[in-house]
Structures are given as structure tokens and as C-alpha cells.
């Protein structure tokens, strides 16, 4: 089968289209004929081998897993002998980050419990755009953020992969949502249901004397003390991404900065979850959330898709389709 393989860390130029062995599914796996893959920041980090600490998992000198691509949709081609939830011919979507990655290939194997039947009301591209970004948004808002109906919730970085789902998921919980994005994305996030929009090129939300019960930070940077000032007395700030400085500050200093207050600040490392992917599927089927796709690239143009991902300004998701 054809696959985009990388044997050294580097720029998208190290991705090579090669003929490789088709995977055979283990007993608890399904083999998927891949129809679409969406790229996540994690794909870009593993391609570059940066931040360096991820090499302890991915391979110190060179990548041990040579095919990237986690968020995948496709058609079940074969099933392992212990598989109970799927049969040949089912349309599925999955987060392969728990199955050894490998979506950027004609076929990929997935643990049975990493996959869910694709919602019938969306395309393969739209389905592939969902898993990691939507589950991260859900876990950030629900698990770390303890989101409640009627709360004032702010999403910083509302126009990206995680942010576009976060706006819609927060609305589905009944929150009053403020979305922070740049000028070009104001209408997009409004259309996704944001009640208020702050254009970060014109206004700094941490300096306008407004406070929020929950802030989900997916992109950009603000000092922790500024986030603290933008929280209500029992407010919660959940960092899911952004600059490395933002991520490490929230991870290491969140508890220190909020000492003596009822505010909470911390970092989320999302965990792939079949239950959560099923919940997201239901939200899609009920018309409560939908994928936003900046651009879909043909498989052969995968390196160009990575080049765009690296720029960091996609509105929604970047997809590769077969
Ligand atoms: N915690 C986890 O487990 C987990 C899981 C998935 C992702 N993540 C992380 O979450 C972050 C977001 O991922 P993503 O997939 O949403 O990224 P993404 O799609 O690449 O984000 C692109 C978006 O970010 C916006 N943006 C860039 N700079 C900004 C700023 N200063 N303020 C506000 N928005 C800004 C861009 O809008 P403009 O063009 O308008 O600037 C663009 O719409 C990444 O750091 C990723 O690594 C974490």
C-alpha cells in the first residue's frame, strides 16, 4: 500500500510517499481503508521531534513510528477475531494515537476501542476532523472546567481545531460563550454560536474588566496572572494548548498563582476515549456540533497540508483525503 513515511525528524520535506507493507489487524483491531485524515498539532510536533521530550516516547534519534496521522475515517476492511463492535463494510472514525498512529496510508489498523461508527449525516472528511480536537474540547470543558449551564465561558483561540469545537460544545452545555479570535474569523465563530466575540488584534480580553466562570485556553499566550484576573471568584482556567510557555506555566505554576483563592488554573492532557467519541458523535447527529474545515488536500499533497498546519492560522481543521 502507499503511505507517507518519515524516517528522520524535520520539515514536511522529510515525508516520503512510499510503498509499504499493508498492516494486518491484531485480534482486538480493525483494518480500515482510510478515506480521510485530519492533522493535529501533535502530528507537527512528532514530525519535527520537538519539543525534545516527546522523543523519549517517539524515538531519541529517529522516529520509531514512521507513519503519522491519528484522526482517521474510513471503511472497515477486516476485523480481528476478538472484535465485537464492528463488521466489514462499516464506516468508522477513530483516534489512532492509541493504536500506533499510521493514518496517512491507504490502510491503517485501529484498536476496536479507539473507533466509533461514523455519524451518517457527515462526510468522511468531516468525520476525520473530529476525534482529537473535539474530545480535547469536551474533556477540557466538562472534566477540568466542570462547565455548568448559564456560566460565562471564554474560549481563547476559538477559531482553531480545538476552539471551533469548544465554542459549540460549550453552547451545547447551555453556557454564555465569548470567543476570542482574529478579525478574519469573527463571523465564523459567531456562526458557530458564540454569544460575544473579542477580536484579539483589537482588544485584550484580560484587560477589559470582564470576568468569566471558565476560560479554555487553546491558543495564544497571556501571563497566568492576567488569566487569574479574568476569572470570577471561583473561576477555572484550563489550558489545552497555545505557546509552550503558556502550557508549562499553567502546568507548573497554576496552583501557586491561585494559592489562597477559590480559583483554579491548570493544564489538560486529553485522553483518547471511545465513550467521549460516542458522545461527540451524538452531538453531531443531533446537529449540535459540526466540523469546520479550512482545506482538504489530496493524499499526494500531504506535505503541503503539514506546511499549512505549521503556520498555525487555519480556521478549523486541515484534512487529507483519499
Ligand atoms: N491538551 C491536549 O491534549 C491537546 C489536544 C489537542 C490539541 N492540543 C493543543 O491545543 C492547541 C490548539 O490546537 P488546535 O488544533 O486548535 O490548533 P490550530 O487549529 O492549529 O489553531 C489554529 C488557530 O489558532 C488561532 N490563533 C493563533 N494565534 C492565536 C492567538 N494569539 N490568540 C488566539 N488565537 C490564535 C488561529 O487564528 P488566527 O489565524 O485568527 O490567529 C487559528 O484559527 C495546540 O497547542 C495543540 O497542541 C492539546
Sign of the Cα torsion 102, 108, 110, 116 reads positive
Pick from 2-6, 73-77, 246-250: least confident: 246-250
CA gap 244, 295 in Å, rounded: 26
CATH number of 2-130+291-321, picked from 3.40.50.2300, 3.90.180.10, 3.40.50.300, 3.30.460.80: 3.90.180.10
The residue to which cell 468508522 is assigned: 92
> Can you read off the three cell numbers belonging to residue 49?
521531534
pLDDT band at 41 (very low <50, low <70, confident <90, very high): very high
The share of the chain scoring above pLDDT 70, in percent, equals 100
> Can you read off the three cell numbers belonging to residue 313?
492560522
User: Cβ(196)–Cβ(177) under 8 Å?
Assistant: yes
Across the range 144-155, mean pLDDT stands at 98
Name the residue ranges covered by the structural domains of the chain: 2-130+291-321, 133-267
Atom 32 of ligand 1 has which residue's CA nearest to it? 220
> Can you read off the three cell numbers belonging to residue 308?
499549512
What's the confidence (pLDDT) of residue 244? Answer: 86
Answer yes or no: is pLDDT of 181 > 90: yes
User: Cβ(215)–Cβ(236) under 8 Å?
Assistant: yes
The residue to which cell 478549523 is assigned: 316
Distance from Cα 133 to the centre of ligand 1, integer Å? 10
CA gap 62, 37 in Å, rounded: 23
What's the confidence (pLDDT) of residue 220? Answer: 87
Kindly report the pTM of this predicted structure. 0.97
| Count of other CB atoms within 10 angstroms of residue 66 | 18
Atom 35 of ligand 1 has which residue's CA nearest to it? 157
Ligand 1 site: residues with CB under 6 angstroms? 40-41, 132-133, 136, 156-157, 159-163, 180-182, 184-185, 200, 218-220, 240-242, 268-270, 312-315
Answer yes or no: is pLDDT of 90 > 90: yes
The CATH homologous superfamily to which domain 133-267 belongs is: NAD(P)-binding Rossmann-like Domain (3.40.50.720)
Atom of ligand 1 nearest to the CA of 158: 34
Distance from Cα 181 to the centre of ligand 1, integer Å? 10
| Count of other CB atoms within 10 angstroms of residue 57 | 10
Amino acid at each position: 500500500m502507499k503511505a507517507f513515511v518519515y524516517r528522520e525528524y524535520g520539515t514536511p520535506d522529510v515525508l516520503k510517499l512510499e510503498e509499504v507493507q499493508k498492516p494486518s489487524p491484531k485480534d482486538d483491531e480493525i483494518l480500515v481503508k482510510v478515506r480521510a485524515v485530519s492533522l493535529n498539532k501533535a502530528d507537527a510536533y512528532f514530525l519535527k521531534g520537538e519539543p525534545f521530550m516527546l522523543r523519549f516516547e517517539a524515538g531519541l534519534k529517529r522516529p520509531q513510528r514512521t507513519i503519522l496521522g491519528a484522526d482517521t475515517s474510513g471503511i472497515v476492511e477486516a476485523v480481528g477475531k476478538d472484535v465485537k463492535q464492528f463488521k466489514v463494510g462499516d464506516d468508522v472514525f477513530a483516534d489512532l494515537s492509541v493504536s500506533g498512529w499510521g493514518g496517512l496510508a491507504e490502510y491503517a489498523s485501529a484498536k476496536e476501542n479507539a473507533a466509533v461508527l461514523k455519524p451518517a449525516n457527515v462526510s468522511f472528511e468531516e468525520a476525520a476532523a473530529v476525534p482529537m480536537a473535539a474530545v480535547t474540547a469536551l474533556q477540557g470543558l466538562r472534566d477540568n472546567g466542570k462547565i455548568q449551564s448559564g456560566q460565562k465561558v471564554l474560549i481563547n483561540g476559538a477559531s482553531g481545531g480545538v476552539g471551533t469545537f469548544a465554542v459549540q460544545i460549550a453552547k451545547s452545555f447551555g453556557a454564555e460563550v465569548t470567543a476570542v479570535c482574529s478579525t478574519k474569523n469573527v463571523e465564523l465563530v459567531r456562526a458557530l454560536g458564540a454569544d460575544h466575540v473579542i477580536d484579539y488584534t483589537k482588544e485584550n480580553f484580560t484587560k477589559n474588566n470582564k470576568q468569566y466562570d471558565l476560560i479554555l485556553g487553546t491558543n495564544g499566550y497571556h501571563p497566568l496572572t492576567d488569566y487569574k484576573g479574568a476569572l470570577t471568584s471561583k473561576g477555572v482556567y484550563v489550558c489545552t494548548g497555545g505557546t509552550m510557555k503558556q502550557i508549562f506555566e499553567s502546568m507548573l505554576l497554576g496552583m501557586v498563582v491561585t494559592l489562597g483563592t477559590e480559583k483554579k488554573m491548570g493544564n489538560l492532557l486529553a485522553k483518547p476515549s471511545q465513550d467521549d467519541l460516542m458522545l461527540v458523535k451524538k452531538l453531531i447527529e443531533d446537529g449540535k456540533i459540526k466540523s469546520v474545515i479550512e482545506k482538504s488536500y489530496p493524499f499526494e499533497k500531504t506535505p503541503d497540508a503539514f506546511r499549512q498546519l505549521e503556520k498555525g492560522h487555519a480556521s478549523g481543521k486541515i484534512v487529507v483525503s483519499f
